[in-house]
């Protein structure tokens, strides 16, 4: 298995969200790189004097889209603002390139920070910069493709640097996680801490490495450019060590473009395509901070056996990450190859039996709670269910994914949320009357 360094798999319980306001100063300190040392009276600072990067309640509306190519690829993308005060993610989905490259595809997720300008510009223009190098051709020389991608990242970063000076851009930057899919290869492109993984033969076969300042190679470059890694951030401020934009960190005149405090240099890997390739997941760190590679791969794979709507699966992942504690914008693209798992009658039957079992358990819990003259609460119900032995739950998602999915389905408008008609609908009373909870 070809892999990069494994990601952290830390889960933050949802109830900790209630502590956000109490820890607002500390969170802002980490995000803005403010100094811990301050003058007299700093401890008495009014908490409203320091703007919070978080909202009082998450924005849960989702943007979803889907598509397919003539070569057999299908994809869906979903994104949500979540708890962040601004939506800074962007994405690009081109399932079929033009002309002689009609059997090639391109997908990318761009996680912006400190503004939206760079992420939006890259989502619209990075592919053009890649194609302009001439490295991507129908006869496909893998080394030339990788060289072209590398050159394109440096070119677009230089170009944006000029535009930022001329047009007074914001000081934003963006990570980039992208793939180019040819008839023969998958090219994995990564710059920052968004991530891509490949599920092959039922397991994670490859995932990209996060570019964090504390990685030894990244830390060495930062220090050689005169910077430091403090609180696991570049100069105590930026949480990624490679990104497009972030031009305040690229002003060391005596260092080349790829040796700045923050580098725009991507890592590019290619893998030969195989009939056992099932699907790709591209996502920002709002996903990976909440769920690990193997968990997410297993969850998506299990959902593909019972749902043929990729948009629905993307939406389920977003809801799951929100519940697991993600405080960031959340964006995900799932790209399915012809070898992806298909809906099966056996899996549908098992799912129906599981939902009936959950129906029964939820009914018992609600009756117990109401017998105490208390109002049912969604998180309270989930806590009870989590303690039950219940085989057949989605791997990586557990009871949480089932309850959140059915809760959302009971609240969604038919025009905005389609579900697989083969699955049984939640019983009318299953979630009726459960008090709204802030996830």
346-378 per-position pLDDT tens digit: 999 999 999 888 888 888 888 888 888 877 777
pLDDT score for 12? 37
What is the rounded CA–CA span in Å between residue 32 and residue 239? 10
The values of phi and psi at residue 25, to 5°, are: -65, -40
Q: Which band of pLDDT confidence, cut at 50, 70 and 90, is reported for residue 110?
A: very high
Could you read off the pLDDT of 422-439 as tens digits, one per residue? 333 334 334 444 554 444
Tokens 């809906």 sit at which residue?
Answer: 343
What does the pLDDT average to over 121-145? 98
Over 60: is that where the pLDDT of 418 sits? no
Just give the CATH number of 344-439.
1.10.10.430
pLDDT score for 194? 98
pLDDT score for 137? 97
Which of 4, 13, 24 lies closest to 325, judged by CA?
13
Over 70: is that where the pLDDT of 380 sits? yes
Q: Which band of pLDDT confidence, cut at 50, 70 and 90, is reported for residue 389?
A: confident
What is the rounded CA–CA span in Å between residue 125 and residue 33? 30
Cα atoms in the 13 Å half-sphere on the side-chain side of 282 = 31
Buried b (16+ CB within 10 A) or exposed e, 111-141: bbbbbbbbbbbbbebbbebbbebebbeeeee
Q: Is 211 helix (H, G, I), strand (E, B) or coil?
A: coil
What is the rounded CA–CA span in Å between residue 291 and residue 397? 9
Strand partners, 200: 203, 277
The values of phi and psi at residue 85, to 5°, are: -70, -20
Share of the chain above pLDDT 70, in %: 81
pLDDT score for 52? 84
CB neighbour list of residue 186: distance below 8 Å, 6 or more residues apart: 179, 180, 198, 270, 271, 273, 277, 280
pTM here is 0.84
Could you read off the pLDDT of 317-330 as tens digits, one per residue? 999 999 999 999 99
213, 222 Cβ separation under 8 angstroms: yes
What is the rounded CA–CA span in Å between residue 406 and residue 393? 14
DSSP state letter for 65: E
pLDDT score for 434? 52
Q: Is 208 helix (H, G, I), strand (E, B) or coil?
A: coil
Count the Cβ atoms, other than its own, within 10 Å of residue 277: 22
Tokens at 104, concatenated: 């090639």
Average pLDDT of the chain?
Answer: 84
Decide if domain 14-34+54-336 falls under CATH 3.40.30.10.
no
Tokens 């360094």 sit at which residue?
Answer: 5
Domains of the chain by residue range? 14-34+54-336, 344-439
């Amino acid at each position: 298995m070809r892999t990069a360094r494994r990601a952290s798999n830390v889960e933050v319980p949802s109830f900790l969200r209630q502590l956000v306001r109490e820890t607002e100063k500390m969170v802002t300190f980490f995000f803005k790189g403010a100094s811990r040392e301050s003058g007299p009276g700093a401890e008495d600072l009014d908490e409203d004097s320091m703007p919070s990067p978080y909202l009082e309640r998450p924005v849960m509306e989702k943007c979803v889209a889907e598509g397919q190519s003539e070569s057999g690829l299908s994809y869906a993308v979903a994104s949500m603002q979540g708890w962040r005060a601004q939506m800074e993610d962007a994405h690009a989905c081109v399932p079929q390139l033009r002309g002689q490259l009609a059997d090639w595809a391109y997908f990318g997720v761009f996680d912006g920070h400190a503004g939206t300008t760079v992420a939006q510009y890259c989502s619209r223009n990075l592919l053009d910069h890649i194609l302009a190098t001439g490295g991507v051709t129908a006869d496909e020389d893998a080394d030339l493709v990788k060289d072209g991608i590398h050159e394109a990242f440096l070119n677009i970063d230089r170009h944006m640097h000029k535009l930022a000076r001329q047009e007074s851009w914001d000081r934003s930057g963006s990570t980039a996680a992208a793939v180019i899919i040819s008839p023969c290869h998958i090219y994995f492109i990564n710059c920052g801490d968004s991530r891509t993984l490949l599920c092959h033969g039922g397991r994670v076969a490859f995932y990209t490495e996060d570019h964090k300042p504390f990685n030894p190679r990244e830390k060495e470059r930062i220090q050689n450019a005169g910077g430091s890694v403090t609180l696991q951030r570049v100069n105590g401020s930026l949480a990624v060590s490679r990104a497009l934009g972030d031009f305040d960190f690229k002003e060391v005149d005596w260092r080349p473009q790829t040796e700045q405090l923050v580098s725009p240099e991507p890592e590019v890997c290619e893998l030969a395509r195989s009939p056992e390739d099932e699907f790709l997941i591209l996502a920002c760190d709002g996903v990976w901070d909440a769920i690990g590679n193997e968990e997410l791969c297993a969850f998506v794979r299990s959902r593909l056996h019972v749902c043929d709507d990729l948009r629905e699966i993307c939406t389920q992942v977003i809801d799951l990450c929100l519940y697991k504690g993600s405080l960031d914008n959340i964006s995900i693209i799932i790209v399915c190859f012809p070898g992806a798992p298909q809906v099966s009658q056996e899996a549908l039957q098992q799912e129906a039996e599981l939902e009936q079992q959950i129906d029964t358990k939820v009914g018992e819990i609600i009756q117990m709670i109401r017998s105490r003259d208390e109002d049912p609460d969604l998180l309270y119900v989930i806590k009870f269910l989590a303690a039950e032995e219940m085989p057949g739950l989605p791997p990586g998602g557990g009871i949480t994914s089932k309850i959140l999915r059915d809760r959302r389905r009971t609240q969604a408008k038919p025009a905005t949320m389609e579900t697989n008609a083969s699955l049984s609908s939640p019983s009318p009373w299953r979630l009726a009357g459960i008090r709204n909870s802030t996830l």
